[in-house]
């Protein structure tokens, strides 16, 4: 799965920010603690010609989810 890789500064600038009435940015960390953003094609279309359109030009890289250990095992 590919996502848009963000710097910590980029993540901090958009995390929790609404880009329309009902939708906000929610960034996630990968196995290496790097930050990623995932956008659908309709999200990408909605971001065109907005203050967030720069996100569309950032590099998409492979996202590897963190390994979550089950504390109950």
Query: 16-63: per-residue pLDDT in tens?
Result: 999 999 999 999 999 999 999 999 999 999 999 999 999 999 999 999
Q: Is residue 3's pLDDT more than 90? A: yes
Give the other-Cβ count within 10 Å of 22's Cβ: 6
Q: How many domains does the chain have?
A: 1
C-alpha torsion angle, residues 9, 11, 14, 19 (rounded to 10) = 140
SS3 40: coil
- 12: pLDDT confidence band, cut at 50, 70 and 90? very high
Find the domain containing 50 and state its range: 2-62
Residue 73 domain-assigned?
no
Residue 69 domain-assigned?
no
Residue 68 domain-assigned?
no
Residue 23 domain-assigned?
yes
Residue 25 domain-assigned?
yes
Reading the block at residue 72, the tokens are 């109950």
User: What is the Cα–Cα distance from 5 to 48, expressed in whole angstroms?
Assistant: 18
């Amino acid at each position: 799965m590919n996502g848009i890789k963000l710097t910590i500064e980029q993540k901090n600038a958009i995390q929790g920010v609404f880009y329309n009435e009902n939708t906000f940015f929610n960034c996630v960390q990968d196995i290496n603690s790097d930050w990623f953003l995932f956008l659908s094609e309709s999200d990408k279309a909605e971001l065109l010609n907005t203050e967030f359109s720069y996100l569309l030009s950032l590099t998409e890289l492979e996202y590897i989810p963190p390994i979550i250990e089950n504390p109950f095992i």
